[in-house]
Amino acid sequence: MPSTDASGSLSLSPLPCRGGLGRGALALLLLLAAPVATAQTANPYDKIVDATVARYHLPGIAVGVIENGQVVYTRTVGETIAGSGQKITPQTLFKIASNSKAMTTALLGRLVDQGKLRWDDPVTKYLPQFRMHDPWVTANMRVADLLTHSSGLPEGGGDLMLWPEPNAFTRADIIHGLAFIKPGYSFRSQYQYDNLLYVVAGEVAAAAGGAPYETLMRREVFEPLHLDRCQVGAWNRDTVGDVATPHRRDGGRNVPIPEDAAIPAITSAAAGGIRCDLTDMLSWARNWLVPTTAQLKWLSPVQRGVLQAPHMLIPVSEQRRAWDNTHVMAYGYGWRMADVDGQWSVWHTGTLNGMYSMLALLPDRKSGFVFMINGEADDARTVLGEALMKHFTAPGDSRDVRWYADALEQKAKQRSPSSSAPDTSAQRPASAAELARWSGQYRDPWFGDITLCPRDGKMHFAAAKSPTLAGTVMRLGDRYLVHWDGGELDAWLDFHAATASQPITLRMAKLDPQGDFSSDYEDLDFQRSGDCH
């Protein structure tokens, strides 16, 4: 339907259309058949989007809403690169991050329909080299267990082999490294989000399907569903065109995080490496809400039910209980689900280095929404998701964008000082002399090699396979930390003297205990392996 663009002028947003009439022709017919909107027409979605963009100063966003199976609203605001004048469009590609997981599980469901795979098959049937820390878990890990975040891996366990990018870790490295990551809880006993096992799931799909994950995703998902702009694997930004650049916040500004024109195939593709535009994401959503006959042949009703059925309970937070009156929350295969104000919702979010997204479905209403943001937007995503969801589940609720944003700010202020990052204003570079005892080469069995060696009178940390994790060792009081050159989440360094049975060891931890769980420094266990060269 008609909507206003960022400047407030009336524009017709293209609607998803595959086959038959082109996108523009179908949109024109819908416009002629409906009452003509004016710039003064009150639109509840515009109000929600405008308030969120203004509150959080987002660089760019694309939003789409489905009601009773039909796309009724699309809106794009902002720029692909802040300050460039290049406007976001419905064809602008965004990183959908962990929303990729549902596409990976759909691919696996296709293979199940084709008789090439079973959910209860052992992982070792397809990947004989697969090992978990516990041999019993290795033997009993099913394909389905890769998808429910209940393997025993600690939250975000091993994510430093995926991010930050670029890095040199391969999928073979991940499969090898899993054997050395100690479990954080017992197998199948609880929910703890991980990404590595979705990478493994992608390799299971490749083994069962007889082709690389990227090839299968294009052939089995993108092509039959006509997701024409979605990208996976290696591609070129300039050739594809209209690509959103991620941003970080710095001093109140949106600062672009540059990317090369040549986008490489990344190890994390099955867990979070797909990019799509708004038009394709709305087509993807409608495939779940109002599948056509052809789409029901593409993926059977049985497998659709399996993917979006509860498989592992997730604890319900106090905030979700208070805001949404949620009683049950669970994880399916690549989807989260919960009751919201008495209505069943199925959704997922995505977060990846300056990009945030959310796709939410209300299956019983054949309704839902999707949005993608090319900036740091943790709170913005929470607020926008709540406001859009309430439009369906509690239309009379007086809580709006401002209320949810204020509530999050108040919650942040009430956090205990001990749970936040320390004041680092007094830090200073540690001298090579004071750290001479600890200098050298170190090795962790899953992360690999690092060096702590003098450079220009200071001590420098460098990871062999993750070049972004390089920085200067600093002293803060009586402790040491590493300040990364690239702006990643800084980490404590805790050295332990050699004993009769083991060499010098190094443990790490996030400076901010509330920081992103993917910075899983706590799972590292370095042992000194040699001198600096």
pLDDT, averaged across the chain: 92
**What pLDDT digit, counting tens, does each position of 466-510 carry?**
999 999 999 999 999 999 998 888 999 999 999 999 999 999 999
- What's the pLDDT score for residue 22? 45
Q: Are strands 448-455 and 440-444 parallel, antiparallel or unpaired?
A: antiparallel
3-state SS, 235-272, equals: EEHHHHCCECCCEEEECCEEEECCCCCEECCCCCHHHH
Question: Is the pLDDT score of 194 beyond 50?
Answer: yes
- What's the pLDDT score for residue 418? 55
Mean pLDDT of the region 514-532: 94
Structure tokens at 269: 């593709």
How many C-beta atoms surround the C-beta of residue 351 within 10 A? 20
pLDDT-derived band of residue 416, with 50, 70 and 90 as boundaries? low
Residue 114 to residue 318: CA distance in whole angstroms:
42
Among 381, 159, 372, 165, which Cα is nearest to 257's?
A: 165
Rounded-to-5 percentages of helix, strand, coil across the chain: 35, 25, 45
Percent of the chain exceeding pLDDT 90 equals 87
Among 278, 289, 333, which Cα is nearest to 142's?
A: 333
* Kind plus residue range of the DSSP H or E element containing 77: strand 70-78
**What pLDDT digit, counting tens, does each position of 124-147 carry?**
999 999 999 999 999 999 999 999
pLDDT-derived band of residue 75, with 50, 70 and 90 as boundaries? very high
Non-local (6+) Cβ contacts of 22 within 8 A are: none
**What pLDDT digit, counting tens, does each position of 362-376 carry?**
999 999 999 999 999
Q: Which residues of 56-69 are buried (b: 16+ CB within 10 A; e: fewer)?
A: bebbbbbbbbbbee
pLDDT-derived band of residue 28, with 50, 70 and 90 as boundaries? very low
Q: Which residues of 250-276 are buried (b: 16+ CB within 10 A; e: fewer)?
A: eeeebbbbeeeeebeebbbbbbbbbbb
3-state secondary structure of 479: strand
**What pLDDT digit, counting tens, does each position of 329-341 carry?**
999 999 999 999 9
Residue 335 to residue 371: CA distance in whole angstroms:
16
**What pLDDT digit, counting tens, does each position of 376-396 carry?**
999 999 999 999 999 999 999
- What's the pLDDT score for residue 533? 87
**What pLDDT digit, counting tens, does each position of 434-476 carry?**
999 999 999 999 999 999 999 999 999 999 999 999 999 999 9
**What pLDDT digit, counting tens, does each position of 253-272 carry?**
999 999 999 999 999 999 99
Question: Is the pLDDT score of 359 beyond 70?
Answer: yes
pLDDT-derived band of residue 421, with 50, 70 and 90 as boundaries? confident
Phi, psi of 151 (to 5 degrees): -80, -20
Q: Which CATH class is domain 95-410?
A: alpha beta
**What pLDDT digit, counting tens, does each position of 183-192 carry?**
999 999 999 9
pLDDT-derived band of residue 26, with 50, 70 and 90 as boundaries? very low
- What's the pLDDT score for residue 238? 97
- What's the pLDDT score for residue 420? 72
> Is-cis flag, bond preceding 212, omega within 30?
no
